[in-house]
Amino acid sequence: MEKSTLKIYNSLKREKELFQPLNPPYVGLYVCGPTVYSDVHLGNVRANLTFDVVFRYLTHLGYKVRYVRNITDVGHLVGDLDEGEDKIAKKARLENLEPMEIVQRYTNGFHDVMQIYNILPPSIEPTATGHIIEQIEMVQRIIENGYAYESNGSVYFDVPKYNEKHPYGQLSGRKVDELLSGTRENLEGSSEKQSPLDFAIWKKADKGHIMRWNSPWGLGFPGWHLECSVMSTKYLGLTFDIHGGGMDLLFPHHECEIAQSVAADGQEPVKYWMHNNMLTVNGTKMSKSLGNSFLPHELIAGDHDLLEKGFSAMTTRFFMLMSHYASTLDFSNDALMAAEKGFQRLMNANKLLEKLTYDGDDNNYDLSQTKEIDDLLDQAFEHMNDDFGTPQCIARLFDLSKKINSYYEKQLSINDLNSQTFNRLKETFPKIIFDILGLKDESSGNDNGAMDGLMELILNIRKDARDKKDWDTSDKIRNVLNTLNIVVKDGKEGTNWTIN
């Protein structure tokens, strides 16, 4: 049921479409990964988190997903255009390292951050340098088909020529004429190009350029847009299901991918294009130059002027999921504080749910209660089926949390629900939280839940001490917990603790 009703907003069609994979139960998913020349920023985290949830949800629906996410380790130039230094080579020059040492360092850093945010590794993680031959061969096919030309050792894609037969700009909604009038001046700086809209698919290596390979056009390296066309179609077929990436990549990067594939192989490469939106901070675009951007570790440590405290990776993950991927996501201290509380509320409810056992009567239960729970669970999935509507799905989880809390207060026994719905709740609630939304209970992140067990023991001893008016012991406990930054909260839903 769930499978047949998933709808995805397709950037190419500018509308939500029923998701119908080309070759079910297989689904091919390609996402543009990082250029590994600097620390991962929160924009990267959001993009990867978006498609992590897509990957998880499609898997939940029973699809066999081959998820390909590349690593760009060559060819991405400073300024994202056809002139300038390679981003990785530049960093290597500045740090006096071999470019592949830069690649290794920041690939490791990227993997570490992905792990912290509980973002699953893809099925295949190909690199641009690992596919030079295939890229050269794609350039050759494009030349053979008449859509590219060599110029002074570089090869450029001929956009006007392509546009005669195929609509260039269909993804971004741009027209060649308008693009031309906007970019007339740029041509002067790059006389190798016949048109300012043309883009490099192979670049001649300047003197001193370390990352370069022999090709039919001399020593050089592939253009940035090319690698994704090559690697997506190599591993997923000439036309595949879903291509994802940040909205900033829609033009020119993804537009060029379409043109390259059509020019080389005569096929539109992608059925569904998905784009996640950007980050803002207190309503302003997040950017390094504005000084309002922070890195994941700064967010976790609270090491930034705009943050009053640190926020854990799972709080941040939860916070990001509270906005739809296609909306901008606004970071602010207050919004993070609210997300932290909400996340804790969910974790609490789940812990209480774990403790609940069925003590009802299948011949005598509350029909409307049962229907309410079933409806909330159904709705949670309906929201996910509506273009991965995580905010609405989470809202239903909050509704369910309230119900769970009320059941728990009735002393671990319930006769409101029938056993079928009770069991469904017990199974589905954590499945949505942990498997589909990919959250983790950080308070039990240690080995075998030993921390949980010790805290339960200590809180127990503290309660005994208070009952016995043994203030010495209860003070001692309070002081140690303070020192360890462990915050204990006594609430309606029982006693909870977190490490700050």
Can you give the binding site for its own copies, defined by CB under 8 A?
Answer: 66, 98, 100-101, 103-104, 108, 111, 121-127, 129-130, 132-133, 137, 213-214, 235, 445-451, 453-458, 460-461, 464, 473, 476-477, 480, 483-486, 499
Q: What is the nearest approach in angstroms of its own copies to the Cβ of residue 132?
A: 6
Q: Provide the H-helix boundaries in 311-449.
A: 313-321, 333-355, 367-385, 390-409, 419-430
Whichever of 289 and 485 has its CB closer to its own copies, that residue is 485
Instruction: Please count the CA atoms within 13 angstroms of the CA of 231 that sit on its side-chain side.
Output: 29
Q: What is the nearest approach in angstroms of its own copies to the Cβ of residue 270?
A: 19
Task: Using the Cα atoms of residue 431, residue 435, residue 436 and residue 440 in order, give the sign of their dihedral.
Answer: positive
Whichever of 98 and 361 has its CB closer to its own copies, that residue is 98
Q: What is the nearest approach in angstroms of its own copies to the Cβ of residue 373?
A: 33
Q: What is the nearest approach in angstroms of its own copies to the Cβ of residue 398?
A: 27
Closest of 405, 409, 413 to residue 356, by C-alpha = 413
- Residue 212 DSSP symbol: -
Whichever of 121 and 167 has its CB closer to its own copies, that residue is 121
Whichever of 224 and 235 has its CB closer to its own copies, that residue is 235
Sheet holding 279-281, edge to edge: 284-285, 279-281, 329-331
Whichever of 132 and 259 has its CB closer to its own copies, that residue is 132
Write out the two tokens for 355: 């403790």
Whichever of 55 and 168 has its CB closer to its own copies, that residue is 55
Whichever of 43 and 310 has its CB closer to its own copies, that residue is 310
**485: alpha, beta or left, given left = phi > 0 and alpha = psi -120 to 50?**
left
Q: Judging by beta carbons within 10 Å of its beta carbon (0-12, 13-18, 19+), is residue 333 exposed, middle or buried?
A: middle
Separation of alpha carbons 297 and 64, rounded Å: 34
Q: What is the nearest approach in angstroms of its own copies to the Cβ of residue 152?
A: 22
Whichever of 187 and 301 has its CB closer to its own copies, that residue is 301
Q: What is the nearest approach in angstroms of its own copies to the Cβ of residue 348?
A: 20
Whichever of 114 and 171 has its CB closer to its own copies, that residue is 114
Residue with tokens 């069991």: 423
Separation of alpha carbons 330 and 333, rounded Å: 10
Partnered with residue 223 across adjacent β-strands are none
Q: What is the nearest approach in angstroms of its own copies to the Cβ of residue 476?
A: 7
Tell me the Cα Rg of the chain: 27
CB within 8 Å of 443: residues ≥ 6 apart: 347, 451, 452, 497, 498, 499
Partnered with residue 150 across adjacent β-strands are 155
Q: What is the nearest approach in angstroms of its own copies to the Cβ of residue 89?
A: 15
Q: Are 380 and 393 in contact (CB under 8 A)?
A: yes
Q: What is the nearest approach in angstroms of its own copies to the Cβ of residue 105?
A: 8
Cα separations in angstroms, 63 against 47, 48, 50? 21, 19, 18
**471: alpha, beta or left, given left = phi > 0 and alpha = psi -120 to 50?**
alpha
Q: What is the nearest approach in angstroms of its own copies to the Cβ of residue 453?
A: 4
Whichever of 108 and 284 has its CB closer to its own copies, that residue is 108
Whichever of 205 and 377 has its CB closer to its own copies, that residue is 205
Q: Are 385 and 441 in contact (CB under 8 A)?
A: no
In angstroms, the first-to-last Cα distance of the chain is 42
- Residue 9 DSSP symbol: E
Q: What is the nearest approach in angstroms of its own copies to the Cβ of residue 494?
A: 18
Backbone angles phi, psi at 366, to 5 degrees: -85, 110
